[in-house]
Structure formats: C-alpha cells, structure tokens
A and B are shown apart, each in its own frame.
Chain A
C-alpha cells in the first residue's frame, strides 16, 4: 500500500544536518526521508550517535536543517522557531521548571499561549487526572521521584494538545519495573489522546513492544522503516538484522532464478527478498539472515553440525553449532538442549532473509 493511502502527519524529505566547518564538520543526518502517519506511535531506534535525537530536535525546532524540508500536516515548518510549531517535547531529563509547582509546569504551555485562566486551570486538572498526579499539584518539582517527574513532563507536553508529541528517551532514567509500567502507560495515553507520538530510544525491546512502526537508524541514515514484526522477521539490512534480537548471518550464493539461496555446505532454501531488492534480484554472493528461534533440532534436519557450546538463560538455551564448513550458527532451544559435542541435525525455516548489504 503506498504511503499516500495514509494520512501523513510529518513528512521529512531529504533532510541533512551538519555541524561545524571544515575539519570538525560532523554530519548528523544524511539525506534522511521519512513519513510519519497520523495517530501513530512511531519510534526512532538506533545506537547513540545515529542521529535519532537530531532528527527529533529538527522536528521540534531546536535546530534548523542544513538542507531538506520538514512538513507538518502538509505545512512547511522546517524554518519555524519552536514556539511557532504545534509540537511538544518530553525531554530526556524531563526539564521541569524547578521554580514552579507541578500545576504551573503543566499549565505553562497554555499560559504562554495566552489562554484564559479558567481554561488553563481546567486543562491542568484534566492532565493531572490523566497521569494520576492530582494529589501532587502544588508540589515543587524537585521534590518528586523520577517516575513522578516523568509523568509531570508528559502532562506538561500533552496539555496544549499538540499535533505531535516528541519523546527523547524519556524512560532511560527509570528502573526496570517502572520503565515497564510507563511503557504501558505511554501506549494508553497515545491511543486515548489520538496524538501522533514520535519516540526515540536505543532499547530495541522497548521499540518492539510499544511501536506501531519503527525506523531503524545508524550513522545519520534511516536503514529501514516498518512494523515491529516486519523489522524483526524481515530485516533488510545487516545492521538492522544485527541490532534487533539475536541473528545468524551467513554467506550464501544466490541461485540463477533468484528464488533460492545455496547455503554453505550445499543446502538450498527459498530466499526472502527485502522490498528494496524485489524488483531486481541480486546475483552471486549474498548475505542471509536466519533467527536462532526459527531453527530447531531435528534428526532429519537438512543442515548438520556439531554442538560447540550451550548457554542456558532460563527461558531456554542458545546452542552454538559448528557446521562442517567451519562456520558457526546459533540455535534457540526451548527445552532440553543437546550435549556439547553431539552431532545434530537442524531444521531450517521456510525462507532465509536476504540482506541488501
């Protein structure tokens, strides 16, 4: 389905952002394009330095793009200052105003817009109820716990009912249990308010759990955009395959008809091509990705090997198998893992994902 079938909220087109000059020039974003849909929970996922925060800041208005356009609901905003964009941000360290109470923090955006006091107060009450902080309205923000500050930051950003909410790694400072609670909370808020969320994180598990769609980024580029399932089961690029979950990457040979690959050792299996290569199938050597949990041990399995190591982690085990060609493979085993040194047969999945690089 083409992108035009959806309502696009944010359209970034050919966005480039460089810092510095000459020797010290840094390219944070290199010709990045993306379309974020209305009412979507969209995540920018990548390691530090990949440019995800820069892209967020460009949407928010804290930086100007060096090149490229940014459209919000059809209108150019790339050149506008932040206070002219109907976009609000939840900062990584919350950035709550220490000299104001919780209530005043939350009402700040509406206050700045010049709303009548009654309207501001009403919105504050509604927000406090939404994040369940009614009892802390008069508190000073530096007296709150991390989780509470987080919720105030959220309420503050949602109160002016922006078109888009930007979240810059908002959960990274929280402990695990709180983080999991907040993830559910954020999903709930997004569907209740209908506001488009753009979420930045380096935690792939977080991205997979919460997102409607994910954009995986590295070194200033967007490598792949898709639903969590698509990203996981059909990674198009080596980096994406490697970054998300455990993966096996094997060198294989493309068959002449472009429908199968020959694995080391001669085994053939159907090939799954990424969207970018669907029109023009590659030839010759390719890299393929197979998830450890997509394989299983089966005495009649096509692939044969010897168990080199077993790593138990409670829910199952990762079994490292050495193939006759010398390469290694990791197979996820839910129940009894084979012994080290055992000769095993491996059942392959229906298709191997071909990587574009």
Chain B
C-alpha cells in the first residue's frame, strides 16, 4: 500500500507544491491588499475601519479622473478597431499558406513592437512625432492613437492567427464547391468562423492599450492624459485613497475582459 502511494507522488518534487502555493500567494497578496483597502472608510492603507464606497464616490466626482478615463477609453477604442482590422488582414495573409517569399520579414515586422523595449519605442516615437509636428504643424490626439495602434497590432494578431490555424480549408472548399465566389466564401464561411479569434484579439488589444504607461507618458500632449498617466502623476505626489479606488476599477475591468477571453478560448 505504501508503495502505491509513493508511485502516485512520482510526479511531484519535494517542496514544489509548497513553493507554488506560496508563489501564488505573493503574486496576489499586494493586489488583494489594494482592493481591500479601496473599500476602507479610513484614509489609511493599514487600519481597517469600516466598509465603504466613499473613495469610489470621490473618484467619480474627480474631474481629473473622469477626463483621464474618457481619454483612455477613446484611445483604446480607436487603437483596438484599427489594430484588430489590420491584424485580421495580416493574419489572413500569413496563415494557411504555403511559405512565400518575404514571410520571415513579414513576421518580423508584425512582431517588431514586441521585440523592442518599451522605453526605446516610446523615445523613438516621441522623436519622430516631434519632427512631424514641426514639419506639418498638425497636432492632436491622433498621434497617441497611432502609437497605440502600432503596439496593439501584434497583440491582436496572435489570437486571430491561432484561430485561423485551427480552421482547415475544407469548409471553404465546400463553399466554393457550392458555387460561392471567393468573396462569398470569405463573407459566409471564413469570417464567421474566425469571429471568436477576432473578438479575442480585440479584447487583448483593448486591455494592452488601456494599460500602457511609458509610451503614453512620453507621447501624450497636454489634454491627452490617459488614466495610467494620471495615476502615475498622483502616485508621485503622494498616496491617495481615490487612487486605490480607481486602480481597483481598472483592475476589475481587466479581470472581466481576461476572464471573457479565457472563456471564449475554452468554448472553442
């Protein structure tokens, strides 16, 4: 009997389980503390007095927070739309094909934003935009949206491509066999079947755009303060409980989106 028990444990290494649970604990502990104390009636992040939505209320009334949220959402929405469309097109061009000339180059370019450290991208984009602004005189939030679109493309691309790779060409052949022209095949078969991947890609892009700090920090002009920029500014000035509330909300939004992303992935 003892020998049987030992056999079952063969997969486990001593101490690994303990380490894993500890690791998970430490991963979530700071976040949990943050979330818990955002509901604290007291200003302190240490003493718990009573449960309250006070800081959430103050956060909602805070003009700075509201404006920053609106800007973040606007930028994320635009960046998501364009990056998802471009990524869908790129995925269609690079997947389920026999290898073509320039394929490696295409991959390298699509994934380029992931391979360069964010600070370098931020600095390079700043330099470029400043030049363009000087030469053309055009300003506006479009620059920020453009910068976000660029780094969102690879994030949208990955789930779309993964979904596409799972689709065999047989269904599209069946559609062509039944008199569908290539455009009809795309519209009635390919696109509907790709949809979960596209949705997942869009969600990923949205989350990534909302969360961006360093690139936005360097590029954003006056009046283009995104939520992370605002939060960073506040932190530099000192800890306020409203920040906890806003952070928790942002966290909550991300959790919902990521959970949805995992669900969509599992339903497949």
> Given A83-B181, A112-B184, are A97 and B171 neighbors across the interface (CB < 8 Å)?
yes
Asked if B179 is at the interface (CB within 8 A of a chain A CB), the reply is yes
Asked if B175 is at the interface (CB within 8 A of a chain A CB), the reply is yes
Q: List A residues 43-91 near B (Cβ within 8 Å).
A: 60-62, 81-83, 87-89, 91
Please tell me which one of the listed residues B177, B181, B192 contacts residue A60 in the complex, with CB atoms under 8 A apart. Answer: B177
- Asked if residues A108 and B176 are in contact (CB atoms below 8 Å), the reply is no
CA distance A195 to B102 in the complex (A): 47
Q: List B residues 74-106 near A (Cβ within 8 Å).
A: none
Asked if B180 is at the interface (CB within 8 A of a chain A CB), the reply is yes
CB-CB under 8 A from A108, the residues of chain B are 175, 178, 180, 188
Asked if B189 is at the interface (CB within 8 A of a chain A CB), the reply is yes
CB-CB under 8 A from B136, the residues of chain A are none
Asked if B193 is at the interface (CB within 8 A of a chain A CB), the reply is yes
- Asked if residues A82 and B173 are in contact (CB atoms below 8 Å), the reply is yes
Asked if B13 is at the interface (CB within 8 A of a chain A CB), the reply is no
- Asked if residues A83 and B180 are in contact (CB atoms below 8 Å), the reply is yes
CB-CB under 8 A from A61, the residues of chain B are 176-177
CB-CB under 8 A from A25, the residues of chain B are none
- Asked if residues A88 and B175 are in contact (CB atoms below 8 Å), the reply is no
Q: List A residues 79-119 near B (Cβ within 8 Å).
A: 81-83, 87-89, 91, 93, 95, 97-99, 108-109, 112-113
* Minimum Cβ distance to chain B for residue A95 (Å): 4
> Given A99-B193, A112-B184, are A156 and B178 neighbors across the interface (CB < 8 Å)?
yes
- By secondary structure, the B interface counts as helix
Asked if B174 is at the interface (CB within 8 A of a chain A CB), the reply is yes
CA distance A109 to B179 in the complex (A): 6
CB-CB under 8 A from B174, the residues of chain A are 89, 91, 95, 97
Please tell me which one of the listed residues B170, B192, B193 contacts residue A95 in the complex, with CB atoms under 8 A apart. Answer: B170
> Given A95-B171, A97-B171, A112-B184, are A89 and B193 neighbors across the interface (CB < 8 Å)?
no
CB-CB under 8 A from A170, the residues of chain B are none
- Asked if residues B176 and A99 are in contact (CB atoms below 8 Å), the reply is no
Please tell me which one of the listed residues B170, B173, B175, B192 contacts residue A112 in the complex, with CB atoms under 8 A apart. Answer: B175
CA distance A97 to B188 in the complex (A): 10
CB-CB under 8 A from B188, the residues of chain A are 97, 108, 112
CA distance A259 to B175 in the complex (A): 56
* Minimum Cβ distance to chain A for residue B180 (Å): 4
CB-CB under 8 A from A91, the residues of chain B are 170, 173-174
CA distance A157 to B179 in the complex (A): 11
> Given A93-B170, A97-B171, A112-B184, are A82 and B176 neighbors across the interface (CB < 8 Å)?
yes
Number of interface residues of A (CB under 8 A): 22
Asked if A160 is at the interface (CB within 8 A of a chain B CB), the reply is yes
Q: Flag B146-175 by CB within 8 Å of A: 1 or 0 each.
A: 000000000000000000000000110111
- Asked if residues B176 and A113 are in contact (CB atoms below 8 Å), the reply is no
> Given A83-B181, A112-B184, are A95 and B173 neighbors across the interface (CB < 8 Å)?
yes
* Minimum Cβ distance to chain A for residue B120 (Å): 43
- Asked if residues B177 and A113 are in contact (CB atoms below 8 Å), the reply is no
- Asked if residues B177 and A112 are in contact (CB atoms below 8 Å), the reply is no
Please tell me which one of the listed residues A82, A93, A98, A99 contacts residue B177 in the complex, with CB atoms under 8 A apart. Answer: A82
Q: Which residue on chain B has the smallest CB distance to residue A156?
A: B178
Q: Flag B181-221 by CB within 8 Å of A: 1 or 0 each.
A: 10010001100110000000000000000000000000000
Q: Which residue on chain A has the smallest CB distance to residue B170?
A: A95
* Minimum Cβ distance to chain A for residue B193 (Å): 6
Q: Which residue on chain A has the smallest CB distance to residue B184?
A: A112
Q: Which residue on chain A has the smallest CB distance to residue B169?
A: A62
Q: Which residue on chain A has the smallest CB distance to residue B174?
A: A95
- Asked if residues A112 and B178 are in contact (CB atoms below 8 Å), the reply is yes
CA distance A60 to B170 in the complex (A): 13
> Given A89-B174, A95-B170, are A112 and B193 neighbors across the interface (CB < 8 Å)?
no
* Minimum Cβ distance to chain B for residue A46 (Å): 22
Please tell me which one of the listed residues A81, A93, A97 contacts residue B176 in the complex, with CB atoms under 8 A apart. Answer: A81
CB-CB under 8 A from B189, the residues of chain A are 97
Q: Which residue on chain A has the smallest CB distance to residue B189?
A: A97
* Minimum Cβ distance to chain A for residue B18 (Å): 44
Q: List A residues 278-332 near B (Cβ within 8 Å).
A: none
Please tell me which one of the listed residues B178, B181, B192 contacts residue A109 in the complex, with CB atoms under 8 A apart. Answer: B178
Residues on B lying within 8 angstroms of A by beta carbon are 170-171, 173-181, 184, 188-189, 192-193
9 additional A-B residue pairs with CB within 8 Å, beyond A91-B173, A95-B173, A112-B184: A60-B177, A62-B177, A83-B178, A97-B189, A98-B171, A108-B178, A109-B178, A112-B179, A157-B178
Pick 26 A–B contacts, CB within 8 A, sort by A: A61-B176, A62-B176, A81-B176, A82-B176, A83-B176, A83-B177, A83-B179, A83-B180, A83-B181, A87-B177, A91-B170, A93-B170, A95-B173, A95-B174, A97-B171, A97-B175, A98-B193, A99-B192, A108-B175, A108-B188, A109-B178, A109-B179, A112-B175, A112-B181, A112-B184, A157-B177
Residues on A lying within 8 angstroms of B by beta carbon are 60-62, 81-83, 87-89, 91, 93, 95, 97-99, 108-109, 112-113, 156-157, 160
